[in-house]
Each structure stands twice: as structure tokens, then as C-alpha cells.
Amino acid sequence: MKTLSPLFLFLLLISANSFLPPPPSASAAYHDYADALAKSILFFEGQRSGYLPPDQRLPWRANSGLSDGWTYNADLTGGYYDAGDNVKFGFPLAFTTTMLAWSIIEFADVMPPAELRNSLVAVRWSSDYLLKSVSQLPNRIFVQVGDPNADHNCWERPEDMDTPRTVYAVDAPNPASDVAGETAAALAASSMAFRSSDPGYAETLLRNAAKAFEYADTHRGAYSDNDIIREGACPFYCDFDGYQDELLWGAAWLRRASSDDTYLNYLQENGKTLGAEDNINEFGWDNKHAGLNEVLESSMVTLQSYKASADSFMCTLIPQSSSSHIDYTPGGLIYRPGGSNLQHATTISFLLLAYANYLERTSQSVNCGNLDVSPYALRSQAKRQVDYILGDNPKGLSYMVGYSDNYPQRIHHRGSSLPSVKDHPAAIACKEGSVYFNSTGPNPNVLTGAIVGGPSEDDEYPDDRADFKKSEPTTYINAPFVGVLAYFAANPDFS
């Protein structure tokens, strides 16, 4: 059973001698965090589906997916392609949206005005699509557009797609607690991001978040337990870890966005049965355990069991702590097996900074048994991950495309690796793109700001387009990094 850790819930609701790790070495490179921030947000324009606006800043992209939803007589245009393919998977898309919105909620006060504006644009491109996925018909949620097996059999630009744009929908009483719960979280978080600039839109988002959560809680179960959905979602974005954490996650965000104690009561009454007390030190598109407590914390709701789990998780991230059990590469990168490893580094870095903010606001530290860990220590740990990604690593390689002079050239991404429509107006059919996939040359279109999957456990990175576990960027790697970079752009001399 997948459950949410109290840490993530705690951080969501709450919006002596300290251990001070040694400062970075004098040889560490200077990083332009403001430049990296701008590029990390720009990346999302390369992932856009639908009609592109006149101010589109990556000119090699064009309109795509303009008939999405037609088989259901629904408008499902817009949203983001999750990675290097041309499919819109609702589960990771919703998590991406939550983390983009949370980046704004947590760090808007230190974002440059231009990048705050660009971040809101990035959130809205996704939140508009998520609204369409839950608001067009009662008792139905659209969870995916595009047949991934057909799509993955081709190497073609999104502008040329001729693979089936299959729509995957879940109708009551069939379950979709995971996708609906994450969608509720995404819409609730987005409502907070837009509350000051567009209160009418914020209210629409919050109202539909509540509806999505009602579906999630009423029809409990994993969306990929449905045979038809499983054919499209698996093995790519099955619910591998259970749906229970998304119920708590959605409730926590709705409590934070609405201040409605109904959701607080839900967390208190259902937390144990849904696994809130389980210490599972994971956080990502399929597992919200380690972030749940931080959402609760940000609402200034102190649920002691959640805070205890939040503290416990933070202690696992400090190498000098007796309870540390996170693996690192020899070069210092947080590492978990399974591919696309940088998703762990960016999400955990975000949680480190968010929890440091909470500790600082409340004048606390974390007791890790053999040492007390200060907000400074947590931020130092996050900075090590950020600097590694930006180039302070054994390869001397920036894993963000377009940042510095040394970055991956052959990323696993269809639109980036094929000639643009402007340079090659004629369509490039399904198998005609293979010559570009197999090319050893650099991608012709730079997907600025994309963070690839990252190196292996020995810090090696082959820069091979075919090695998708290392070379493919995803939206959910970038989304939390927006907030992380916003903090360090505002504090460039942190050491």
C-alpha cells in the first residue's frame, strides 16, 4: 500500500549547537543561479501542446495536438508532454503542476518579477488543461491523451504526430484516487499561486479542486487497476505505490488553500488508515510521503506525528547523522536506482529548502540524535545538489541543457533532435525520424533549461540519445528546481 509520509503533509499544512557542514571547497565553480532559474522556466515552453501563443520563446516549436479530445467531443488541447515523447500523461502532469505552483507559493517573494510572471504562465498552461480534464462532464476524469506504445514506436515531431491520440477517461464508479487526488492538489496549489493576481481564476481552480478530491475519495482505488487505463498508463506511469498518499496529499493542499477544517478533520480521521504514520522516505510523481508533512507545516497546523516524520526524514539526508541512509554517488549526488535519478535530487532539494524556511520561521532546529541540524545545514545540503547538477561534478558537466558551455548535446527528446518545422517544413513520418534518433551528432534544437535524467551511480554520463534513463528530460524534474533556483538566485553568496 502506498502511503504519504507525515513529513510531506506536515510541510504542506504549516506554511543548542547546530551542526554546520563544511562550506563548499574554494575550487567550486561560481554559478549564475538567476540564469539557471530563467532557463529552468523556459524549458516548459518546449513541452507545450496545443496552440502556441505569439510570445512563444522557443521558436523551433509549433502548434501540435490540436484535435486532442475529439473522440469524446471534448476539448483536451493544451497541457505539457511529460518528457521526450508526445503523450500527455495526467498523473505526472498534475504533480508537475503542483510543484510549479508550490515553487511560487514558497519562493515568490524572492523571485525576480519577470521570472515570477513566467512561472505563473507555466503553471497556467498546465492548470488550464487540468481544469478541462475534470470539469467537462460530471463523474468523469480524463487521465491521458495519446497511445504511448504507438508513440514510442515512432520518432517524430509533435507537430507531425499521426499516431493515435487515444483519450483515456475514467467514469464513476471506477476509481482514480491517485490521478484525481493529485489533480486536486495541483488545482488547489495553483489557486494559491493565482490568488493575488487573478482571484476569479483562483476561485475556479479551488472549486474544481474540491470536485476532483470528492471523486478521488468517493471512488477509491488506483486508476491503473482499470484494464483499459492500464494498457495506456503502464508500465510508464502506473500507480506503483498505491493511491492512499494522493488522498492525504489532495486533502492537505485543499486545507492549505481553503483553510476549511473539513480537510483537516479528514487528515486526522483518515491519516492512520491511509498510512500517514508510515515513514517512507520518498517524494515524486508517484509517492508523496516525504512532502506531505511540509504542506501541513506551511498551513501552520501542527500535527505532531507529521512533524516527527518530517524531522526524521530530514535526518536521513544528513550524512553525518546517525540515521542517514540516503545513498550518494562518489561525487555527492543523491542517488536512487531506477533511472531519471535527478528527479530525486531536485525534489529532495526543494523539501530541504522548504523545511529550512519552516524551521527558521519557528526558530527551531532538528534533533538527529547525535547532532542538531540547523536551517543552514539543510540549505547547505540542497546547495550541494544544485551545484552538482549545474556542473560541480566529476564530469564537469551541467545537466541543465543550455547552462554553461558544457552540457548534454544528444538528449532523448523528439522535438529537440529532429529538424524544426521552420527548417524542414515537410512532414517527417514515423520511421523517417529514425535517422535522426540514431545520429551521433548534437540535437539541432536546444531545449534550453531541460534537466536530463542524469548520471549513473558512478557519476558517469555517456550523452547517448538512446540511453533514455539518463538523457531524457521530464517536466517533474524541472518543476521543483524552479523554487530551488529561486532561493539561490536571491542568495547567490550562500556558502
- Give me the sign of the Cα torsion angle 447, 451, 452, 458: positive
The answer to whether 297 touches 7, Cβ cutoff 8 Å, is no
Is residue 412 among the annotated active site residues? Answer: yes
What's the distance, Cα to Cα, between the start and end of the chain in Å?
40
| Catalytic residue of the set 311, 392, 459, 472 | 472
Interatomic CA distance for residues 423 and 60, integer angstroms = 8
The answer to whether 34 touches 482, Cβ cutoff 8 Å, is no
Taking every pair of Cα atoms in the chain, the longest distance, rounded to a whole number of angstroms, is 68
Is residue 432 among the annotated active site residues? Answer: no
CA atoms within 13 A on the CB side of 420: 14
Q: What are phi and psi of 97, to 5 degrees?
A: -65, -45
Interatomic CA distance for residues 181 and 267, integer angstroms = 13
Q: Which residues of 76-92 are buried (b: 16+ CB within 10 A; e: fewer)?
A: bbbbbbbbbbbbbbbbb
Q: What is the DSSP string of 53-104?
A: PTT-S-TT---B-TTTTGGGT-----SB--SSSS-EEHHHHHHHHHHHHHHH
SS3 letters across 29-41: CCCCHHHHHHHHH
C-alpha cell at 320: 553525518
Q: Which residues of 165-186 are buried (b: 16+ CB within 10 A; e: fewer)?
A: bbbbbbeeebbbbbbbbbbbbb
C-alpha cell at 321: 547523522
| Catalytic residue of the set 463, 464, 467, 493 | 463
Q: What are phi and psi of 373, to 5 degrees?
A: -110, 125
Is residue 372 among the annotated active site residues? Answer: no
| Catalytic residue of the set 115, 412, 413, 459 | 412
Q: What are phi and psi of 145, to 5 degrees?
A: -130, 125
Active-site positions?
Answer: 412, 463, 472
